[in-house]
A = this chain, B = another copy of it.
């Protein structure tokens, strides 16, 4: 399903994408997900995609077809906001052309894109474009975006990323986020495209394609894991205190107090249990309310 993540920082921007695509476990391929629209000295835009591959490729192809003579093209966008609108319009064009046929096959118009970059003197901006063609932008409080298999790699980014960190630290953070995802989900795989954009350079200065031969990626993989296990072993284990044991003086014991009891189901059977609610009862009680999960 892919995993792409990008951050917009004071010092610039970082983009990281995997390249695994699958149409089931017996059809796994490699397709690059990060594309660059660069006019050195004028603009640097990076686009990453996830979701249905045919849809995302169609959108990128449409954007690629629109050259410098086309007013709707990314080459003529006057601002990043305008550029995001261009991408959104391309999404809608593909939707208008293809969604009905997909629906007839029972397939959702499933695509998400990340667009980021800088045009001229304006600040860097980072957007997520939805399947409906509209989009959101990052903010200093929420300076990163993820698409695809985002959950495995979210905790580390939530813990360490903020707008003041350096570009290299951000790259390291996103690589660790990707490593956690690679380890836990087989629909995400190398090679990885890493683009580190230095603010106001308006060109690609730092790009790397990382595969299983990449020393840095291997170092992240082994070192992060080892250090995590080391930190884990150094954190105090829980200490169970029974009513008979005096409270320990150190650490933070887990108290097994008598007032802590699990919810116990008694062996009494029907007498002890409340009547099982049925769907009809629930619907009668609140048919217009959502079901709780």
Task: Please report A residues at the B interface, Cβ cutoff 8 Å.
Answer: 1-2, 21-24, 27, 29, 31-32, 34-39, 46, 50-54, 57-58, 60-70, 73, 75, 94, 97-98, 101-102, 105, 107, 110, 149, 151-156, 158-160, 166, 168-169, 171-173, 175-176, 180-181, 183-185, 187, 193-196, 204, 206-210, 214-216, 218-220, 223-225, 227-229, 231-240, 251-256, 260-280, 282-283, 287, 289-293
Give how many copies assemble into the complex: 2
Q: Which residues of B contact A256 (CB under 8 A)?
A: 206-208
Contact A207 B290 (CB under 8 A): no
Nearest CB of B to A133, in Å: 16
Q: Which of B29, B69, B219, B270 contacts A269 (CB 8 A)?
A: B69
Nearest CB of B to A267, in Å: 5
Among all A-B residue pairs, the 10 with the closest Cβ atoms: A67-B269, A151-B151, A64-B273, A98-B279, A61-B276, A215-B252, A155-B180, A168-B237, A23-B292, A53-B292
Nearest CB of B to A158, in Å: 6
Q: Which of B58, B156, B209, B240 contacts A276 (CB 8 A)?
A: B58
